[in-house]
């Protein structure tokens, strides 16, 4: 079993990646690829899961890198069936252009969420890459949904840590999840061995935008710490509120795998931050009267 990707394969891979990557995709960049490659080489994974396939760039990357390490099964899940950036293309369209990976069996499951993983993956998961919805609490939800399916010692990789710094694509999910993760379970970008040949991969110039969580022997203890994130403000868009159907299903899942305390934290978060938007009732005061009151207040404050 190889634990290093050979130089010739790396060179071919760098050319392949740079021909297809662009900054508009929202996909992993060169820094992220180097991190993922180093983790894959150290994990010797046989069962790999991805949540959030999109174009399939990261799926193709993982398959190509894993091909140089050991045989594996890679299953990628996406709630959509069309690529969000270009609706004329199906989810995972770049898999067709991937470098040969005969020993890595790749399948894509569309119309699925993280709670559906267990229905399609029966073996314990060694490596899980999550790059789906980034608004809090979705990264936390996706992580708690896969933890019971993970092999102890496996890793859950989270992308887009630095979206909380973004103006146009603000999201706090990956950051809040990391903040709840015990330091001993964190794997940060600078803590894994670098891959010199990957220095020529295209990047956004934003290092440290990815991290991983090492799964302990008792995932329930980790879940009990992570779930505290549900108490913190959710930034999920009003148009993408968590449905009651999904919430009920997730609560049942949490109760079964983690116990009532973890399920309760999600319920409290739902009550605080996910309640339906209420439209204010029309005022019974005449418009002119309301305006005059406002003017009196302004006049008083400015005297």
Mean pLDDT of the region 92-115: 96
Which run of H or of E encompasses 129?
A: strand 125-130
Torsion angle of the four alpha carbons 13, 214, 219, 57, in this order, in degrees rounded to the nearest 10: -20
Q: Does the pLDDT value for residue 281 go beyond 90? A: no
| Residue-by-residue DSSP string for 41-68 | HHH--SEEEEE--TTSHHHHHHHHHHHT
Helix (H, G, I), strand (E, B) or coil at 264: helix
| Interatomic CA distance for residues 131 and 137, integer angstroms | 13
pLDDT at res. 301: 36
pLDDT bucket at 239, cuts 50 / 70 / 90: confident
Confidence (pLDDT) at 39: 94
Give the pLDDT score at 184.
Answer: 96
Residue 56 has pLDDT above 90, yes or no: yes
**Is the pLDDT reported for residue 33 higher than 70?**
yes
pLDDT at 275: 77
Sequence ranges of the domains in the chain: 7-218
Which tokens go with 80?
């959509």
Task: Say if residue 280's pLDDT is above 80.
Answer: no
Question: In the prediction, which pLDDT does 283 show?
Answer: 46
* pLDDT for the residue numbered 144: 98
Residue 171 has pLDDT above 50, yes or no: yes
Please give, one letter per residue, the 3-state secondary structure of 179-246.
HHCCHHHEEEHHHCCCCHHHHHCCCCCCCCCEEEEECCCCHHHHHHHHHHHHHCCCCCCHHHCCCHHH
What is the chain's mean pLDDT, rounded? 88
Predicted confidence at residue 6, as pLDDT, reads 56
Is the pLDDT score of 46 beyond 80?
yes
Per-residue pLDDT, 8: 58
- Each residue's pLDDT tens digit, 178-231: 999 999 999 998 888 777 778 899 998 888 999 999 999 999 999 999 999 999
Of the candidates 231, 230, 213, the one whose C-alpha atom is nearest the C-alpha of residue 222 is 213
| 67 Rama sector, left if φ>0, alpha if ψ -120 to 50, beta otherwise | alpha
Residue 91, pLDDT score: 96
CA distance 234 to 229: 9
* CATH topology classification for 7-218: Rossmann fold (3.40.50)
């Amino acid at each position: 079993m190889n634990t290093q990707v050979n130089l010739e394969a790396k060179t071919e891979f760098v050319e392949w990646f740079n021909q297809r990557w662009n900054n508009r995709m929202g996909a992993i960049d060169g820094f992220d690829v180097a991190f993922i490659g180093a983790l894959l080489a150290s994990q010797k994974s046989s069962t790999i899961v991805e949540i959030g396939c999109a174009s399939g760039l990261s799926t193709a990357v993982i398959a190509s890198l894993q091909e140089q390490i050991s045989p594996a099964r890679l299953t990628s899940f996406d709630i959509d069936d069309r690529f969000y950036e270009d609706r004329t293309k199906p989810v995972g369209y770049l898999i067709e252009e991937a470098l040969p990976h005969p020993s890595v069996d790749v399948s894509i499951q569309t119309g699925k969420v993280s709670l559906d993983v267990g229905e399609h993956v029966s073996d314990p998961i060694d490596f899980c890459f999550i790059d789906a919805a980034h608004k809090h609490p979705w990264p936390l939800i996706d992580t708690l949904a896969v933890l019971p399916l993970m092999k102890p010692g496996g890793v859950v990789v989270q992308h887009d840590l630095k979206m909380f710094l973004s103006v146009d694509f603000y999201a706090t999910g990956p950051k809040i999840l990391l903040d709840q993760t015990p330091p001993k379970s964190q794997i940060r970008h600078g803590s894994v061995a670098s891959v010199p040949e990957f220095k020529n991969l295209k990047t956004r110039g934003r290092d440290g935008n990815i991290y991983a969580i090492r799964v302990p022997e008792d995932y329930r203890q980790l879940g009990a710490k992570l779930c505290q994130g549900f108490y913190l403000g959710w930034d999920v868009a009003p148009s993408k509120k968590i449905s009651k159907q999904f919430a009920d299903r997730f609560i049942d899942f949490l109760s079964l795998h983690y116990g009532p305390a973890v399920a309760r934290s999600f319920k409290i978060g739902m009550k605080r931050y996910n309640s339906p938007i209420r439209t204010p009732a029309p005022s019974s005061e005449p418009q002119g009267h309301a305006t005059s009151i406002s003017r009196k207040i302004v006049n008083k404050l400015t005297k």
